[in-house]
Chain A
Amino acid sequence: MKARITATGFAVAGLALSAMLPSVAAAADSLEALGANPNNWTMQTGDYTGQHYSRLSQITTGNVKNLKAAWSFSTGLLHGHEGAPLVIGDMMYINTPFPNNTFALNLAEPEKIVWQHKPKQDASVKAVACCDIVNRGLAYDDGRIFKTQLDGHLVALDAKTGKELWKMENCDPAVGSTITQAPFAVKGKVLVGCSGAELGVRGYVTAYDQKTGELVWRSFATGPDNELNLSKDFNKDNPHYGQMGLGTKTWEGEAWKIGGGTNWGWYAYDPKLNLFYYGSGNPAPWNETMRPGDNKWTMTIWARDVDTGAAKWGYQKTPHDEWDFAGVNQMILTDQAVNGKSQPLLTHVDRNGIMYTLNRQTGSIVQAAKVDPAVNVFKKVDLKTGLPLRDPEFSTRMDHKGTNICPSAMGFHNQGLDAYDPDSRTFYFGLNHICMDWEPFMLPYRAGQFFVGATLAMYPGPNGPTKKEMGQVRAMDGVTGEVKWTKWEKFSVWGGTLATKGGLVFYNTLDGNIKALDKTNGKEIWKFKMPSGAIGAPMSYAYKGKQYIATNYGVGGWPGVGLVFDLTDPSAGLGAVGAFKELQSYTQMGGGVMVFGL
C-alpha cells in the first residue's frame, strides 16, 4: 500500500494513509513519502536536506520561453511576503505576513478558497518586529498545517478544514520576542524558534508534539550547560571549538540572559544521524563594546539530536560579533567526495560572507571560502582552529565610525533559500552585495524595547560591473569554493533560488521579476514582471501531469522597509532605506501568489 502511494505519489492517498495510521513513526514516513514525490512541495526548504531542488523536468531550458502566468491569487495584504506556498496532493497552502492569514486552495479549482484561517493579534506586536512584519511560511505533516504568528504563537490547523487544533505561546512579545520563522515538522514534532535578538531576547529552539502541542524539549543558545542542552560528548571531534561552561563564561556577568542568539532561520534534518541543523543568531546588543567575550553560543551552527534536543556539536562562526552577522541562514545537506572519499556535508553561507562546508557528522571544517572577494571583515578562516582572522581596519568599536565594511549588517547572504543541483554538484547562491558604515552608541536594556546601539549606512559593494549592483546569483562548488558563474542584479537577490531537473535556476528580484537562468552558464532565458517585488524563492509542483512554478510576491522585509517608509522625507538616506531608495521607481507594495505553466 505504502509503496504504491510512493510510486504514484498522490498526496490525497497519502493523507488517507496517514489518517489510517496515526502513529508518530508513520507520520514521519508519510511526510517523507509525500516529499519523495516531486509533484508535491511539502516544506519551505524543499525537503529535509534543504537542497531546495525540484526533480520535475517538464519545463526545460528549451521551452521555458513559453512559460506563462497560469493563475494568481491576492492575499489582500501588503508588506513582505517571504517563504513560498506548499503543495500537497491537490491542495495549495498559502501564508501571509502579519496578521498571518492562511489560505487553502484546491488546485482543481483555484478560483475558490477552500478554507481560510485569520487569527486576531494585538497590533502592538508590530512595534517589536525588527525588520518588517514578514512570515517565512507554513509546515505540513500528517494532515496538519503548522503556522507561526508574529505574536509568538505556534498553531496547528486541520489541513482539510483549517480548524485550529491547538495553539501554544512560544515567544513572549512583552519582552520583544516574536515569530517570523517557518516551523519545521520532523518525527512527530514541530521545531520552532523566536525572533528578538534586536531586543535582547535570549535564543532557544523548542520541539512541540505535533498531535497535542505539548512541549517536548527546549534548548537555549546561551547560559548554563544544562540549559544549552549539551550532550556529554559535545564537540568531542573538535574540542578546540569549545566544550563545557562557555555559555556563561564567555559573557560578562549575567549578560547572557539578555544576550540574543535567537534562531529565526531554517532547519535541515539527517534521518540517518538523527540530527537536525540550524544556526543561532546575533548577540545583543549590536554595540560590541557593551558585551566583552566570545558570546557563546550565538552565531553558531548547531547539530542536535531531534528526539532530545541535545547538542552533538556546535561551531561558532563569528565569535564576539561586531557587525550583526546573525548566523541563522539555511543549512544545505549533501553527500560529496572530499579528497576522493564521500563525506556527509553541510554547507551554509553566513551573513559574514563566508561559505562554510563542514562534515555534518563531526562538525569538522572542510572548506571556508569567501562568496565574494569584497568580504573584508575577515582575511580568512583558519581551517585548523576554525577561527576567523579579522582585519582590524573593519572592526567596530565605541567612539569610532567604521567605513566601507563588507558585508553590511544584512550580510552577503540573508534569509533566502538557495538551491543545490545534485547532478552538477553545484550550489546557486542568491547574494547581497552591500557594504556599510557603522557607528556604535551606548544604551540601557529595557525588556520589550530595542537593544541595538549602532547607527548604519548601507550602499552597494565594490565589485559589480557598474559598481552600483547590490545583488548577484553565484554558482559555486561547495567543496572547493570555486565560482562557476555570476549573474549580477541591480538589487539584492533576497529570496534565494530554486533549481530544477529541467536545467534551470529560478529566482525573484526585489523589483518584481521572476527569472530563469540556464544552470550551466547563468544566462537569463526567461523573466516575468510581477505586480510587486518578491523576497521569497519560487517553488515547483505538478498537478494533473503538468509542471508549475509558483511564488509569493510582495516587496518588504529588511531590504524593502524603504517602500513602507515615506521616501519624500529628506532623511530617507540612511541604513537600508538609503541603499534601496531607488526601488520605489521600480515597484510598489503588493501581496499574493503567482503560478506559471507552459
Chain B
Amino acid sequence: MRNRHKLILVSALLAATVSVFADDLIFRGTISGEMLDFKGLNETETDAVKKFKQTGVNPYNGNAEVIKKGESLFSTACSGCHGHLAEGKLGPALSDDYWTYPKNATDKGLFETIFGGAEGMMGPQRGRLTQDEMLQIMSWVRSIYQGDPDKAKWLNN
C-alpha cells in the first residue's frame, strides 16, 4: 500500500514536466467542445488540482476551511454576476438544482465551464483564477446547495 503511494508520487513528479498526465481525464470547453488547453498557465498545479484532473472529483468538497476561502473568492470573482449568495443576478443562480449547462451538476463539468467559459458574459476564468482557486470556489458553491439531493450528481462520482 505504502509502496503504491510512493509509486504514484514518483510518477506524478516525473509527469509534472509534461503538460497532461497520461491518466488525466479529458477536459472540454462547455461551448466549443474542444479540449481545454492547460499549457502556459502561470501557476504550479497543487496536489488537489492534480488529483482532480485524474478523478474529476473535487477533493475540497466538504473541507470547511477551504469552503470558507472559496466563499471569499466567490464574493470578488463571481458575486458581481451570480449574486452574493449565488442566488442569481446578471448570471444564473448556482445554489439550486437547475443548470444552464446540465454537466455543471458534475464537478468536472462545472470546472470546464469556469475554466473555459460559456455563453454570454461568462468569460473564461483561465489565467484570472488559479485552478486551485476554482476548486476552492466550487467547494463553496456545492456547500450552499439547496436543491434536490438526488440531483446532486457530484456526490455520486
Contacts and interface: CB of A to CB of B under 8 A. Distances in A.
Interface of A: 122-133, 198-199, 441, 443-446, 448-453, 455-456, 561, 564-566, 568-577
Contact of B90 (A445, A446, A573, A577): A577
Interface stretch (B47-55, B92-100, B149-157): B92-100
Nearest to B75: A443
Contacts of B75: 441, 443-444
Contacts of B117: 123-124, 126-127
A568 B100 CA distance: 8
Interface in B68-86: 72-73, 75-81, 83-84
A575 B89 contact: yes
B127 interface: yes
Interface stretch (B15-23, B56-64, B105-113, B118-126): B118-126
A64 B80 CA distance: 44
Nearest to B101: A566
Contacts of B79: 441, 443, 450, 452
Interface residues of B, number: 32
Contact of A123 (B83, B92, B120, B124): B124
Contact of A574 (B89, B119, B123, B128): B89
Main secondary structure of the interface of B (DSSP, over half): loop
A573 B121 CA distance: 18
Nearest to A558: B90
A575 B84 CA distance: 12
Interface of B: 72-73, 75-81, 83-84, 87-93, 96, 98, 100, 117, 119-128
Contacts of B121: 126-127, 129, 131-133, 561, 564
Between B81, B89, B98, B119, the greatest number of chain A beta carbons within 10 A of the residue's beta carbon is seen for B89
Contacts of B93: 569-571
A127 B128 contact: yes
Contact of B76 (A126, A451, A456): A451
A291 to B, nearest CB: 16
A124 B84 CA distance: 22
Contacts of B119: 564
B90 A123 contact: no
7 contacts: A124-B125, A125-B123, A127-B123, A452-B79, A568-B98, A571-B98, A574-B88
Contact of A566 (B73, B83, B92): B92
A133 B120 CA distance: 9
B80 A126 contact: no
B96 A455 contact: no
A441 B117 CA distance: 26
Contact of A569 (B78, B80, B92, B128): B92
Given A123-B117, A124-B127, A128-B123, A449 B88 contact: no
B90 A443 contact: no
Given A561-B120, A561-B121, A124 B76 contact: no
A130 to B, nearest CB: 7
Contacts of B128: 124, 127-128, 448-449
B111 to A, nearest CB: 15
Contact of A577 (B89, B96, B124, B127): B89
